């Protein structure tokens, strides 16, 4: 599989390493200052585009993928408010886009079991929950895209809103649950769901050991996306992706 990377930060470099280990070829890298004609050339040379750049640049990269008829895998966060509009654009153009706030396959399993566990326990009297995420100091968004995804799923399942704000005086109101973000050094990413009951405390934690886990998931998604059209969420297609053989 021939790949053009969009963005070459820490995640882009991890994708390059894992791609080479899986026998794929990196044909080029698109930076924020790459001229338009070069962008189109690099896109045409690839079979798939993988974007780990900036959230505000995602619409431009979707248009690049559509104009060059190339599938696009998006690992960038911070563009949620434009998702529906971009999905309509992709469907209209018969393009192919797959996105995730977190491409770790283990994280997707974590999210599913976290919601199931919380849904069971919060039916009992006296149980409460909170969500915490920790990332490196350079992380651009807070809470992380993964924390937001889990918070939204819990909100829907439990019919309880979530908040990142704490009052200066007094306690947290009864209904909302708290989502907190901590920025620390070079932390790859930790997400922790805390479930507190009258007699027990459960902590369910996912901790990334390296960026290669995210890169691996993005590459499995890229392999699956070849030859398909549509606007896909990684978590919704995970079973199909994991049951599809490699495409090299």
For helices 212-225 and 10-21, the axis angle rounded to 10 degrees is 60
- Show Cβ contacts of residue 149 under 8 Å, excluding neighbours closer than 6 positions: 101, 102, 111, 235
- Reading the block at residue 2, the tokens are 């021939």
Catalytic residue flag (residue 209): no
Look at the block and give the residue holding tokens 């390296």. 210
Cα distance between residue 109 and residue 104, in whole Å: 9
- Show Cβ contacts of residue 221 under 8 Å, excluding neighbours closer than 6 positions: 73, 98, 100, 103, 234, 237, 241
Sheet containing strand 162-163, edge to edge, reads 162-163, 177-183, 128-135, 190-196, 201-207
Which one of the listed residues 139, 178, 209, 239 is annotated catalytic? 139
Cα distance between residue 26 and residue 1, in whole Å: 9
Which one of the listed residues 24, 61, 135, 206 is annotated catalytic? 135
Catalytic residue flag (residue 139): yes
Cα distance between residue 63 and residue 74, in whole Å: 13
Closest CA to 69 of 44, 35, 91: 44
Whether the link from the prior residue into 59 is cis, omega within 30° of 0, is: no
Catalytic (active-site) positions: 135, 139
């Amino acid at each position: 599989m021939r790949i053009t990377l969009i963005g070459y930060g820490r995640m882009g470099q991890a994708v390059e390493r894992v791609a080479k280990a899986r026998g794929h070829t990196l044909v080029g890298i698109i930076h924020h200052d790459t001229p338009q004609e070069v962008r189109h050339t690099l896109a045409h040379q690839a079979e798939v585009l993988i974007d780990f750049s900036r959230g505000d640049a995602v619409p431009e990269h979707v248009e690049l993928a559509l104009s060059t008829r190339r599938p696009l895998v998006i690992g960038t966060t911070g563009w949620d408010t434009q998702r529906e509009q971009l999905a309509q654009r992709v469907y209209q153009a018969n393009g192919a886009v797959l996105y995730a706030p977190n491409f770790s396959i283990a994280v997707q399993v974590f999210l599913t079991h976290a919601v199931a566990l919380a849904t069971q326990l919060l039916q009992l009297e006296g149980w409460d929950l909170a969500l915490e995420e920790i990332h490196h100091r350079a992380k651009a968004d807070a809470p992380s895209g993964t924390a937001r995804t889990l918070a939204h799923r819990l909100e829907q399942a439990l019919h309880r809103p979530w908040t990142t704000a704490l009052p200066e005086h007094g306690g947290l109101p009864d209904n909302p649950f708290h989502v907190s973000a901590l920025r620390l050094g070079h932390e790859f990413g930790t997400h922790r769901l805390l479930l507190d009951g009258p007699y027990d405390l459960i902590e369910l934690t996912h901790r990334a050991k390296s960026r290669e886990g995210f890169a691996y998931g993005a590459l499995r998604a890229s392999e699956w996306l070849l030859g398909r059209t549509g606007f896909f969420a990684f978590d919704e297609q995970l079973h199909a992706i994991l049951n599809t053989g490699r495409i090299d």
